[in-house]
């Protein structure tokens, strides 16, 4: 059975404790991961601090060469990374490949770091005096990443942090940790010096050690809202710069003029892709008007019923298992509560068993109709293959429904009406908005981030926002004596 070790200063390191790693399709343990804590974080910080001066002094152009090589390696070995993801997460191979591709986009953006770090220069701000600014790295920074995207989310953080001249400590999810180690090895192969990137595995002990360590300047986090609040509060109290992305309840509004086949297909992919284990998954469909709702349900029901669930090795499968038995049971409890609180269970995915995979963590696609805002399935993030339909009397009701929800990560509207689409994008109080696009994840040269309880901190991840997060501004005002003036000045000179 494989032991997945920490990687500190380029060397493997084990811990006294471990936690199991499962194959979600079979339910069998496939390995164990080292469970680190304060000693391992201390060692990683020491390694990162030792590597920082030389890496920060490396020119942006040379750092960009590492990014270009990492991009090449991600393309060449994307299939290998995807197989590792599927084996521990359970998502379909094509979905895992897509994850790697989206992470690659951020590496491509980081290739432009010489341009992105350019400062501004103002000559003659006063007589004989110039002013200019620089963006300089913070030092040692850390990332705490979730199970649902074991390659993509680390690749949202690492390329920009490293390209800006920082050294990095990654604490991946202990549920599917192998992708992080593989990425570490690829970075080394791309030319990253030892100690610039370190991987420490573990649970809460490792997280708390990161948040408390005085040698870590900034922390990036992606996960649930309760943990995001915790990370932000504890990390900020320790004087760190923190960006903590939390949960979501993403709505897709279906207007009466929408192409319902297009909308239904979009809901299938956005609601059930990756078994709904995505912070940008659409978990709430909001058809406007009873006629629209009835027609949408009529199109969704047979699609959900025929959704093919299977292991990643099944090329025809559209959805895989959930990541753990405990998470599968938690999602089932949400379906139970929805039925108990009065939702109409149109398609019930509970109790799914697959021949030959009876111990896997399976759950079929579930469709709930006539969900109301008071129900638990509407208020809380489910993170599973459960789509709730909340019927809205009017467009205004739909906008009000979304704007009143505490989560504000992503949303979308499906319509042929340009006026409605523009009004929606202007008035909706959500960080990422799609128009006839069900999962509006920004491309790598824009930035990702929700609003309200979906994010804590003032910066989104990747894109231009990440340059500001991973650097600090220094402004220089310079005057070179020319011999033309002498004597002390006690006031600002004329400009």
CATH number at residue 397: 3.40.309.10
pLDDT value for 88: 97
Domain of residue 7, CATH code:
3.40.605.10
199 contacts: CB under 8 Å, gap ≥ 6:
6, 7, 8, 169, 170, 171, 172, 180, 181, 184
Q: Are residues 223 and 300 in the same domain?
A: no
Q: Is residue 494 part of a domain?
A: no
Tokens of 278: 């995505």
Tokens of 262: 């297009």
Tokens of 75: 């393309």
Residue carrying structure tokens 């609040």:
229
Active site residue 279: yes
pLDDT value for 480: 86
d(CA 338, CA 345): 8
Q: Is residue 481 part of a domain?
A: no
Q: Is residue 491 part of a domain?
A: no
Residue carrying structure tokens 């068993």:
353
d(CA 311, CA 486): 80
Q: Is residue 446 part of a domain?
A: no
Q: Are residues 405 and 290 in the same domain?
A: yes
Report the chain's C-alpha Rg in angstroms.
Answer: 25
Are 207 and 237 within 8 A, CB to CB? no
Q: Are residues 347 and 329 in the same domain?
A: yes
Q: Are residues 26 and 172 in the same domain?
A: yes
pLDDT value for 389: 98
Q: How many domains does the chain have?
A: 2
Q: Are residues 167 and 103 in the same domain?
A: yes
pLDDT value for 458: 87
Instruction: Spell out the per-residue pLDDT of the chain, length 495, in tens.
Output: 789 999 999 999 999 899 999 999 999 999 999 999 999 999 999 999 999 999 999 999 999 999 999 999 999 999 999 999 999 999 999 999 999 999 999 999 999 999 999 999 999 998 889 999 999 999 999 999 999 999 999 999 999 999 999 999 999 999 999 999 999 999 999 999 999 999 999 999 999 999 999 999 999 999 999 999 999 999 999 999 999 999 999 999 999 999 999 999 999 999 999 999 999 999 999 999 999 999 999 999 999 999 999 999 999 999 999 999 999 999 999 999 999 999 999 999 999 999 999 999 999 999 999 999 999 999 999 999 999 999 999 999 999 999 999 999 999 999 999 999 999 999 999 999 999 999 999 999 999 999 999 999 989 999 999 999 999 999 999 998 776 555 666 665 555
Q: Are residues 255 and 241 in the same domain?
A: no
479 contacts: CB under 8 Å, gap ≥ 6:
126, 128, 129, 130
Q: Are residues 241 and 257 in the same domain?
A: no
* Coil vs helix vs strand at 55: helix
The Cα-based distances of 256 to 68, 357, 373 in angstroms read 47, 42, 21
Q: Is residue 469 part of a domain?
A: yes
Whether pTM > 0.85 for this model: the answer is: yes
Range of the domain at 64: 2-246+454-476
Q: Are residues 226 and 281 in the same domain?
A: no
pLDDT value for 483: 60
Q: Are residues 179 and 254 in the same domain?
A: no
Q: Are residues 265 and 233 in the same domain?
A: no
Q: Are residues 423 and 324 in the same domain?
A: yes
Q: What are phi and psi of 289, to 5 degrees?
A: 95, 145
Cα 450 from chain centre: 11
Q: How many CB atoms lie within 10 A of CB 480?
A: 7
Q: Is residue 94 part of a domain?
A: yes
Q: Are residues 179 and 264 in the same domain?
A: no
Q: Is residue 486 part of a domain?
A: no
DSSP β-bridge partners for residue 388: 284, 368
Q: Which of 275, 279, 371, 412 is catalytic?
A: 279
Tokens of 147: 């199970």
d(CA 186, CA 93): 20
Are 206 and 145 within 8 A, CB to CB? no
pLDDT value for 202: 98
Q: Is residue 193 part of a domain?
A: yes
């Amino acid at each position: 059975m494989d032991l997945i070790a920490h990687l500190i200063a380029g060397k493997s390191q084990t811990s006294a404790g471990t936690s199991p790693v499962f194959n979600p399709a079979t339910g069998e343990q496939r390995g164990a991961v080292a469970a680190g804590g304060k000693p391992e974080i201390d060692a990683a910080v020491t390694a990162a601090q030792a590597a920082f001066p030389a890496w920060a002094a490396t020119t942006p152009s040379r750092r960009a060469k590492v990014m270009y090589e990492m991009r090449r390696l991600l393309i060449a070995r994307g299939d290998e990374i995807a197989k590792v993801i599927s084996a521990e997460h359970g998502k379909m191979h094509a979905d895992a490949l897509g994850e790697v591709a989206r992470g690659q986009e951020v590496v491509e953006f980081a290739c432009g770091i010489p341009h992105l770090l350019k400062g501004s220069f103002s000559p003659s701000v006063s007589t004989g005096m110039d002013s200019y600014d620089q963006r300089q790295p913070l030092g040692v920074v850390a990332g705490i990443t979730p199970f649902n995207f074991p390659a993509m989310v680390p690749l949202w953080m690492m390329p920009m942090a490293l390209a800006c001249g920082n050294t990095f400590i990654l604490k991946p999810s202990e549920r599917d940790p192998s992708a992080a180690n593989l990425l570490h090895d690829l970075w080394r192969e791309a030319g990253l010096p030892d100690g610039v990137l370190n991987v420490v595995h573990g649970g809460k002990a490792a997280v708390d050690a990161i948040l408390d360590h005085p040698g870590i300047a900034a922390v990036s986090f992606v996960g649930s809202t309760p943990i995001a609040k915790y990370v932000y509060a504890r990390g900020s109290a320790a004087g760190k710069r923190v960006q903590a992305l939390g949960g979501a309840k993403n709505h897709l509004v279906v207007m009466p003029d929408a192409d319902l086949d297009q909308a239904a297909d979009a809901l299938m992919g956005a609601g059930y892709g990756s078994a709904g284990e995505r912070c940008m998954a659409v978990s709430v469909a909001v058809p406007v008007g009873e006629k629209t709702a009835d027609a949408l349900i009529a199109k969704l029901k047979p699609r959900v019923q025929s959704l093919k669930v299977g292991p990643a090795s099944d090329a025809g499968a559209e959805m895989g298992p959930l990541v753990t038995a405990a998470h599968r049971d938690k999602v089932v409890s949400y379906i139970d509560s929805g039925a108990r609180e009065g939702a109409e269970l149109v398609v019930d995915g509970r109790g799914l068993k697959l021949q030959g995979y009876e111990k896997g963590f399976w759950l079929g696609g579930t469709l709930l109709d006539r969900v109301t805002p008071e129900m638990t399935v509407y208020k809380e993030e489910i993170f599973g293959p459960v789509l709730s339909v909340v019927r809205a009397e009017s467009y205004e009701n739909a906008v009000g429904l979304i704007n009143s929800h505490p989560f504000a990560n992503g949303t979308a509207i499906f319509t042929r009406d340009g006026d409605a689409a523009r009004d929606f994008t202007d008035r909706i109080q959500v960080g990422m908005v799609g128009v006839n696009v069900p999962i509006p994840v920004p491309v790598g040269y824009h930035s990702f981030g929700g609003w309200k309880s979906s994010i804590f901190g003032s910066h989104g991840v990747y894109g231009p926002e990440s340059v500001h997060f991973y650097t600090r501004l220094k402004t220089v005002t310079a005057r070179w004596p020319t011999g033309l003036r002498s004597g002390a000045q006690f006031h600002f000179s004329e400009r």
